[in-house]
Amino acid sequence: MHYKVVVFGVKDTSENIIDFIQKELCPVDLVITIAPKVTEKNQVSGFKGLSFLTDKYGIPVFEADSYFLNDDKTRKFISENIFDLGIVMGWQRLIPKEVLDAFKAGIYGFHGNCGYLPFGRGRSPLNWSMILGDTRFNLNLFRYDEHADSPNIFATEMFQINEHDDIRTAQYKNMICSKNLIRKLVKTYMEKGTIEIHTDSKDFDSWYNKRTAADGKIDFHERTRNIYNLIRGVAAPFPGAFCYADTEDEDHKVTVWEAHPFDEMIDFSAYAPGEIVDMFDGKPIVRTVDGSMRIDRFDSKVELSTGMVLK
């Protein structure tokens, strides 16, 4: 088979991009995703099976048996078919060289940070940007090679990360800019048959480290702004920030989905950092080193109350 436009993805954001391309740009000829069983060995935040797209649009969906696309079934499929243009959305692994080489026009995906590639290569760049307090995100649509996030840039768009954003609203902005960039990519390929990239970056190399659920642990000895940035940077669809009420026992775990700085002037010196100083409408007011936070939405097996210390 000859597949002209192929989308790689494993998330709800992948579905959103497929809908966009299919409805506004051109037919999507194939979706490459992973079989649900692959998630048993690979953490995939926001995973969504995409096999339903065959019934919805008639798009063939290939489910790989490896997130690294190196299983025998995938190798056989790639070797037996012809591919033109690949677009990646929501795929957090490198794509092997034999798959890259099979695409005539190349495979293109997204990576961003507050600066310019190769600065800020690596994992979870949007999460890291929020956690570090960055106020802008430079989103690159680039051509994949066998290395991570190489500066093979097709086009770039920038958006703001403001103090009201959490990771989900930042994803919305990211999706809007992604669609603008994909529109340019598909139009360029359809009109010219080739896609030019530029590799003349003057920036330096730096990396974001891999994040796991354990990295969401809240330290109330941190400043309010740092705690706020962590909570909003790992909110749903990611695992969430967490702490423990009085004792570090799993039965006392508190997952914090939403919180906001409360006040930095009220004298809370009689309370320890992390201590709940009061409760209003079921929302704890927690002392921090330099002020206080209001926890607006959380999950907890224990009932939180004034005087508890969140560790």
Q: What is the largest CA-CA distance in the chain?
A: 71
Q: Are residues 180 and 252 in the same domain?
A: no
Per-residue pLDDT reduced to its tens digit, 112-134: 999 999 999 998 999 999 999 99
Q: Where in the sequence is the domain holding 51, given as residue range(s)?
A: 2-208
What pLDDT was estimated at residue 139? 97
What pLDDT was estimated at residue 77? 97
The CA-to-CA distance between both ends of the chain, in Å, stands at 57
Predicted confidence (pLDDT) at residue 201 exceeds the cutoff of 90: no
Distance CA 275, CA 264 (A): 15
Q: Are residues 97 and 169 in the same domain?
A: yes
Last residue of one domain, picked from the residues 208, 228, 261 = 208
Predicted confidence (pLDDT) at residue 46 exceeds the cutoff of 80: no
CATH code for the domain of 126: 3.40.50.170
What is the phi-psi region of residue 114: left when phi exceeds 0, alpha when psi lies from -120 to 50, beta otherwise? alpha
Q: Are residues 185 and 274 in the same domain?
A: no
Per-residue pLDDT reduced to its tens digit, 215-239: 999 999 999 999 999 999 999 989 9
Q: Are residues 144 and 271 in the same domain?
A: no
CATH code for the domain of 262: 3.10.25.10
What pLDDT was estimated at residue 160? 98
pLDDT tier at 203, thresholds 50, 70, 90 = confident
Last residue of one domain, picked from the residues 208, 234, 251 = 208
Mean pLDDT along residues 9-20: 91
Q: Is residue 253 part of a domain?
A: yes
pLDDT tier at 61, thresholds 50, 70, 90 = very high
Q: Are residues 157 and 235 in the same domain?
A: no
> How many domains are there within the chain?
2
Q: Are residues 95 and 145 in the same domain?
A: yes
Give the residue ranges of DSSP H helices in 93-211.
97-100, 125-131, 167-192
pLDDT tier at 43, thresholds 50, 70, 90 = confident
Last residue of one domain, picked from the residues 208, 241, 273 = 208
Predicted confidence (pLDDT) at residue 247 exceeds the cutoff of 90: no
Enumerate long-range contacts of 98-106, CB under 8 Å, 24 or more apart: 99/69, 99/74, 100/144, 100/145, 100/146, 102/78, 103/6, 105/189, 105/194, 105/195, 106/143, 106/144, 106/195
What pLDDT was estimated at residue 9? 94
Q: Is residue 311 part of a domain?
A: no
Residue matched to tokens 């080489």: 101
Per-residue pLDDT reduced to its tens digit, 158-169: 999 999 999 999
Distance CA 148, CA 10 (A): 18
Which pTM value belongs to this model? 0.88
Q: Are 12 and 93 in contact (CB under 8 A)?
A: no
Q: Is residue 272 part of a domain?
A: yes
Q: Is residue 308 part of a domain?
A: no
Q: Are residues 200 and 242 in the same domain?
A: no
Share of the chain above pLDDT 90, in %: 82
Q: Are residues 232 and 251 in the same domain?
A: yes
What pLDDT was estimated at residue 249? 83
Q: Are residues 9 and 131 in the same domain?
A: yes
Q: Is residue 61 part of a domain?
A: yes
Q: Are residues 160 and 42 in the same domain?
A: yes
Q: Are residues 23 and 104 in the same domain?
A: yes
Q: Is residue 153 part of a domain?
A: yes
What pLDDT was estimated at residue 188? 96
Predicted confidence (pLDDT) at residue 42 exceeds the cutoff of 80: no
Q: Is residue 269 part of a domain?
A: yes
Distance CA 265, CA 230 (A): 22
- For residues 71, 74, 79 and 81, what is the CA-based torsion angle, rounded to 10 degrees? 180
Q: Are residues 95 and 226 in the same domain?
A: no
Q: Is residue 99 part of a domain?
A: yes
